[in-house]
Amino acid sequence: MVSIAGFCAEFIRVLVTLTRPLSDYVLQFLYGLFMGGTKQLPPIENKILLIPATELAEKIRKRQLSCEEVMKAYIERAKQVHPYINAAVDERYEDALKDARNIDKFLASGVKSEEDIARDTPLLGVPFTCKEAIGVKGMKQTSGLVRHKDHVAEEDSHSAGFYRKAGAIPITVTDVPELCMWWESSNHVNGLTKNPYDNTRTVGGSSGGEGAIVTSAGALFGIGNDIAGSIRIPSSFCGIYGHKPSKGVISNWGTFPFCHIKTEHGDRTTEFVSTGPMCRYARDLPLLTRVLSDNDQRLQLDTKVNFRNVKVYYIEEFPGLLNAAVPDVKTAVRKAVRHFEDQYEVTATPIKFPELRHAFSIWECKLLEYDGMPFSFYLRGEDKSINFWWELFKSIFRCSDHTLPAIYFGMVDRRTKDKFYYFCLEQFKELERRFKEIFEEDAIVLVPNHPEPPPHYLMTIPMYPNIAYTCIFNILGLPSSQIPAGLSKGVPIGIQAVSGHLKDRISIAAALELDKVFNGWISPCPINI
């Protein structure tokens, strides 16, 4: 089963990769023919939607803007873009407006100074969204599973709770793939989330709903989590910022169904999961990371970074013909490198680690080593077994409860500890040693977030190994900030700034620095203000 499904997918990957750019034109034509043209989002016409979270919070607490008018602006926009992107799967608009009015009354009372409010509730009155699987009390939390289509979160996840503690107000929860274990956000409960830049291409996953709604200005910032790129990939494909923090910094508690299932040996792959912020504006990353980490002092986020004292390394592409990055992505990396060299008089060092050729397989093997349960265990639920070939057959007639990517992932899920498995573990040890040497001092590594622009829908199946560019940093436990790097053929691309463990301030500072180079978020629709 594994060999047949994997062979077919790999054949398509080889064909598409080796025939570029011809294959790109062919796919664009075919997808446009069958899916139609992209429906452009309505223009942004309210200037409130263009204010960064840190500035918006300041205006609210200074009563320069009422919390109610801010909330109304985002609710109106979320409703406006929903038919175009299908990102929100549940909302609490009326309750959010009540929360906003209560905040306005509190501010009018003057019982607390602006300084105290800024210290205690730095996001007071600012709306936020959340990946539905992470959990906001009273809102849908299905993880895209048909059998749990009516499941509602009984309490806030830790991360949603920290945003609320900081004064932020949840308004929607957003779409995910089945069990959050794919990089395309579609399921048979809530449907397909569309990329507003090009409706034929994926928004990424598993935090794809967050990526789509934030870039469409239906939200300002949100929460994602990441075991292989699930914050960084959708952030890149939707042209926004996202930060995967250092291992163990931000709590993952509350994710459904994983936090509700006990396994025989204990699934230690949760150590590779990182919860973190996704946002439109780079300047919001430090505050959002501070809030979600419950002000973890180890991160030293208030310490200013001087890039004259930071070593700069870069990777244009991973070794291996099929891992190659497209020219626009490599150009973006070089542009970022030149900025640091010119502005800070540093000499950037290229990295060519041969172990990165096997990055995807190393990630698979580490999940297996860390007692990762078979994907089928979570997918089948209370059923004793699941036959993926039968599910594949049923999916042809749209009779399966499971999506094609979930079925494929179940088929190719690595479960064998063979010679190649032990080879990959040895490769990981060497890779870990190499990066540890680099990060013994303050340093960043600039690397593509993905080797190509967002793939077309379901092309995520043959191109699955391309998540190597992000998943390798999950098992290394390193912080990584996704940085929008402009458009390629009309769709976003991005690069990562990776730094040492608990050196999140450096990767975030690199995002702030490169915001000046690439100009950050580029609206997928006209701005009429």
Q: Give the per-residue pLDDT at 270.
A: 86
Which listed residue (131, 140, 366, 503) is catalytic? 131
Residue 383 pLDDT greater than 80, yes or no = no
Residue 265 pLDDT greater than 70, yes or no = no
Residue 152: other Cβ atoms inside 10 A: 15
Residue 417 pLDDT greater than 70, yes or no = yes
pLDDT band at 460 (very low <50, low <70, confident <90, very high): very high
pLDDT band at 202 (very low <50, low <70, confident <90, very high): very high
Q: Give the strand pairing for 127-131 and 169-174.
A: parallel
The yes-or-no answer on residue 206 being catalytic is: yes
For every residue of 158-217, DSSP letters joined together read HHHHHHHHTT-EEEEEE---GGG-SSS-EETTTEEPPPTT-TTB---SSSHHHHHHHHTT
Give residue-wise pLDDT tens across range 18-36: 999 999 999 999 999 999 9
Q: Give the per-residue pLDDT at 264.
A: 57
Q: Give the per-residue pLDDT at 373.
A: 87
For 270, residues 6+ apart whose C-beta sits below 8 A from its C-beta are 252, 258
pLDDT band at 365 (very low <50, low <70, confident <90, very high): very high
CB-based contact 452:329 (threshold 8 Å): yes
Give residue-wise pLDDT tens across range 273-305: 999 999 999 999 999 999 999 999 999 999 999
Average pLDDT score, the chain: 96
Is domain 38-297+307-374+414-516 annotated with CATH 3.90.1300.10? yes
Q: Give the per-residue pLDDT at 385.
A: 87
Name the more confident of 2 and 240.
Answer: 240
What is the average per-residue pLDDT within 180-184?
A: 96
Q: Which of 375-379, 439-443, 447-451 has the lowest mean pLDDT?
A: 375-379
In the chain, the percentage of residues whose pLDDT exceeds 90 is: 94
Residue 398 pLDDT greater than 70, yes or no = yes
Residue 263 pLDDT greater than 80, yes or no = no
pLDDT band at 262 (very low <50, low <70, confident <90, very high): low
Residue 382 pLDDT greater than 80, yes or no = no
Q: Give the per-residue pLDDT at 347.
A: 98
What is the average per-residue pLDDT within 398-415?
A: 96
Which listed residue (66, 185, 207, 230) is catalytic? 230
Q: Give the per-residue pLDDT at 509.
A: 98
Residue 390 pLDDT greater than 70, yes or no = yes
Q: Give the per-residue pLDDT at 266.
A: 64
The yes-or-no answer on residue 39 being catalytic is: no
What ranges do the domains of the chain cover?
A: 1-37, 38-297+307-374+414-516
Closest alpha carbon to 225 in 194, 202, 190, 252: 252
Q: Give the per-residue pLDDT at 194.
A: 98
Residue 464 pLDDT greater than 70, yes or no = yes
What six digits make up the tokens of 400?
């399966």
Q: Give the strand pairing for 349-350 and 480-488.
A: unpaired
Residue 1 pLDDT greater than 60, yes or no = no
What is the average per-residue pLDDT within 479-503?
A: 98
Which listed residue (159, 206, 274, 507) is catalytic? 206
The yes-or-no answer on residue 131 being catalytic is: yes
Q: Give the per-residue pLDDT at 268.
A: 84
Closest alpha carbon to 70 in 107, 42, 110, 41: 107
Closest alpha carbon to 515 in 221, 283, 215: 283
pLDDT band at 2 (very low <50, low <70, confident <90, very high): low
Residue 28's H or E segment, with its range, is helix 22-35
What is the average per-residue pLDDT within 93-99?
A: 98
